[in-house]
Amino acid sequence: MSRPRRPNESSPPKGLDQGLWFVPLGGSGEIGMNLNLYGCDDQWIMVDLGVTFGDESIPGVDVVMPDPDFIAERKDKLLAIVLTHAHEDHLGAVAYLWHRLECPVYATPFTAEFLRRKLPETGIDKLVELIEVPLGGKLNIGPFDLEYITLTHSIPEPNALAIRTSHGTVMHTGDWKFDPDPLIGEVTDFTALEALGDEGVLAMVGDSTNVFSEGEAGSEADVREALTEVIGKCTGRVAVGCFASNLARVESIARAAEANGRHVSLAGASLWRVTATARQTGYLADDIIFYEAEDAAHLPGDKVLYICTGSQGEPRAALNRIAFGSHRDVGLEEGDTVIFSSRIIPGNEKAILKLQNQLARMGVEIITARDAPIHVSGHPGRDEMRKMYQMIRPHTAIPVHGEHLHMRAHAALAKECQVPQALLVENGSTVRLAPGDPVVAGEVWAGRMSWEGDRAVPFWDPMLRDRKKIFFNGSVVVSLVLEDDGRLAADAEVSVLGIPDPLADGGPTALAEEIESAVERMRGKSRRDDDAVEEAVRRCVRRLFSMEQSRKPLTRLHIARV
């Protein structure tokens, strides 16, 4: 059975089976949900496979993933998934989508251990071939010679990839910055970067997230010092919201708490997973002790500090549950302090403001990076990007990992750095890197998917479309009992869900009577056709609700014939 045709679907350009290609299916034109494909003479590797947050565009969607259909239809030619680091927007979809790809997964030790702890969520931990690569490691996968190059970021073991092929070399930066004192993990391998630039690089596919920030991103060491000072001024309970995966920040908060005589409790399952991964791989000092929230609840308020998930206002995360009184073990009150040691990811502004307003309503003091230097970005500022271009000197810059404004500004910066060419791409763009000068040659399908219970569902699926329509327009369910000749055998039953009944003033049966009249006005032959009856009922409902409320509710009709 053929699958349904996806909306706005296009055909791949000719020649994808020859030469060197780059095809992003996620993370271009947006921040998060990275999925990047490299093809060489009809063999492919995937670099990263991540998730992003759901938003109000489709209710009830928490996990959003790129749709891998383009490469899933060619999975016999997909040689590997190669992960750059352990952030959810770079590996979070592996557990959900691997069964559609069924290929080996390569990662450095921390990332591999982090993924091992996620795969059991979907029961594929015994199926995935997960291959560890040492820091700075090199490997050969089909026509691809890969080299991991150590960078710094906000998580251990961030890597750039040097992708060497017979058609030329590409550098894929992943997420990065140049932190001279990262506190956890290795410093940037400048020797490898300079050697790669001297070798010659056809294209650099690079992070655009922080392109609007002049100067440098800053060091985690400076944040630790600022946190120690800020926490020292707090009197009651302290809760610090941060990204769970920012292990250096978690350690900085713990050290700052320790310096001020506070015990540290973790609130959020992902924090326990990250810290367990860090202990397993040697990135967390043995003397740092974390308490369960239920144990920390018995400590005096001025002797406890909670590290919490939910700095982006995620409704199910710990900080949001604490603020709205639904956390089982943690409560805050007037005189307590919440510190947001994180940045605002574009698109999360409303959720964060809602969370902070609730905390303010409780009388809790709120401290953000506007008030003290308690956060630095994990992504490069413009000076760092200039330095990278000076070392790599690619023929072509391809900005990714950013919204369109970010990528356009990145392209302009690359030109300023004397890069001969910069290409702007979107999810689904097919970039022919070689032979010839790199060029956007066409596009392929690049959609989104939601994880629904135990399966991935594309956003174009009727189920999600119906959910969205019900959320914004409500629904109407009509039940009719008809004779074989189309006459009504009983009164219509109507249920209006999520919106007002436009004929409520006429009594509980007024809407049903209107629908009955619409059916009775049909010609006898048409009333014997269930499809025709359904269309007549739908038009009647649409007319009544459109006149009164300018709504088009999802209408479902059940017909029984006797």
| Reported CATH class of domain 474-561 | alpha beta
63 within 8 A of 56, measured Cβ to Cβ: no
20 within 8 A of 433, measured Cβ to Cβ: yes
CA angle (179 as vertex; 348, 157 as ends), nearest 5:
80
- Minimal CA–CA distance to 449: which of 458, 439, 436? 458
Domain with CATH 3.10.20.580 in the chain: 474-561
207 within 8 A of 379, measured Cβ to Cβ: yes
Domain with CATH 3.60.15.10 in the chain: 20-215+378-458
308 within 8 A of 240, measured Cβ to Cβ: yes
Q: How many CB atoms lie within 10 A of CB 21?
A: 25
Q: What's the half-sphere exposure (Cβ side, CA atoms, 13 Å) at 123? A: 2
**Rg of the chain (C-alpha set):** 28
CA angle (146 as vertex; 143, 150 as ends), nearest 5:
170
Whether domain 20-215+378-458 has CATH 3.40.50.2300 = no
377 within 8 A of 209, measured Cβ to Cβ: yes
- Minimal CA–CA distance to 480: which of 526, 527, 523? 527
Looking at residue 515, its pLDDT comes to: 93
Domain with CATH 3.40.50.10710 in the chain: 220-367
Pairing, β 304-308 against β 396-400: unpaired
Whether domain 220-367 has CATH 2.40.50.100 = no
Single-letter code of the amino acid located at 383: D
Q: What is the pLDDT along the chain (562 residues), one digit of tens a residue?
A: 345 556 666 678 888 999 999 999 999 999 889 999 999 999 999 999 999 877 667 777 878 999 999 999 999 999 999 999 999 999 999 999 999 999 999 999 999 999 999 999 999 999 999 999 999 999 999 999 999 999 999 999 999 999 999 999 999 999 999 999 898 999 999 999 999 999 999 999 999 999 999 999 999 999 999 999 999 999 999 999 999 888 989 999 999 999 999 999 999 999 999 999 999 999 999 999 999 999 999 999 999 999 999 999 988 899 999 999 999 999 999 999 999 999 888 778 899 999 999 999 999 999 999 999 999 999 999 999 999 999 999 999 999 999 999 999 999 999 999 999 999 999 999 999 999 999 999 999 999 999 988 889 998 888 988 988 898 899 999 999 999 888 899 999 999 999 999 898 888 889 999 999 999 999 888 888 999 999 999 999 999 998 878 888 999 999 998 8
String of DSSP letters for 195-216 = HHHHH--SEEEEE-TTTT--S-
pTM above 0.85, yes or no: yes
Looking at residue 1, its pLDDT comes to: 34
304 within 8 A of 263, measured Cβ to Cβ: yes
Torsion-angle region of 183 (φ positive above 0: left; ψ -120 to 50: alpha; else: beta): left
Looking at residue 65, its pLDDT comes to: 95
